[in-house]
Amino acid sequence: MKQLDDTELFARIQADDRYAFSELVNCYSDILFRFIQRRVSCVEDSEDILQEVFVSLWNQRHKITIEISLYPYLFKTAKYKIIDWTVHEQKKIASAEKLLASFQDAAISPTSEDELLAKELAVLIDSEIDKMPSTMKSAFSLSRKESMSIKDIASELAISEQTVKNNISLALGWLKLRFKS
């Protein structure tokens, strides 16, 4: 019942293992869907794009090399599909002004795409934390984001240290489940 890491999983996909492929779909569907739906809004279209991303991964599997994680490949594929959808399916681009306006803003120093993507992933994970039951959320955020000790969190939230520990381990389980990687 050990979780395969991305490189092992992908090696099996390259060997045409459909199980491994369906496991990959299980792992990445939720977070990729959120990434897509934030830009596409329509749930049906978002699911169509999600499907296309996985189809493209399967069809390209022999041509792709991955280093540590499949995230960059999957998200960049999703980006192309979303932009393609925007160009071909949207009558009018709602935020066109923003896209054109950013051109004049030469003061901003260039950022790599990986950095932009990492920032977005952090936001997506935060939104997952937001959905946790309230105590779990507070305990987890204080521990991971504010680096508070179990003891300090217990007194801050007026609950026992054991409860804090329980909640943090439940929260880790929750996240692990959502973003197995």
- 65, 67, 122, 134: residue in contact with other proteins (rule CB under 8 A): 134
Separation CA 88–CA 31 (nearest Å):
24
Name the residue nearer to other proteins (CB basis): 1 or 65: 1
Compute the C-alpha angle 152/157/162, nearest 5°: 70
Burial class (CB in 10 A: 0-12, 13-18, 19+), 40: buried
CB of residue 58 vs other proteins: minimum separation in angstroms? 6
Among residue numbers 78 through 107, which ones bind other proteins (CB under 8 A)?
Answer: 79-80, 82-84, 86-87, 92-93, 95-100, 102-103
- Residue in this structure with the two tokens 């999957």, named with its chain if needed: 74
Q: Is residue 5 a contact residue for other proteins (CB under 8 A)?
A: no
Asked if residues 27 and 176 have their Cβ atoms less than 8 Å apart, the reply is no
Site string for other proteins, 38-77 (x = CB under 8 A): xx-x-xx--xx-xx--xx--x-------------------
Separation CA 117–CA 77 (nearest Å):
12
Separation CA 104–CA 64 (nearest Å):
36
- 119, 145, 149, 151: residue in contact with other proteins (rule CB under 8 A): 119
Separation CA 104–CA 107 (nearest Å):
9
Give the interface with other proteins as residue ranges (CB under 8 A). Answer: 1, 18-19, 21-22, 25-26, 29-30, 33-34, 37-39, 41, 43-44, 47-48, 50-51, 54-55, 58, 79-80, 82-84, 86-87, 92-93, 95-100, 102-103, 108, 110-111, 113, 116-117, 119-120, 123, 127, 130-131, 133-135, 159-160, 162-163, 166-167, 169-170, 173-174, 177
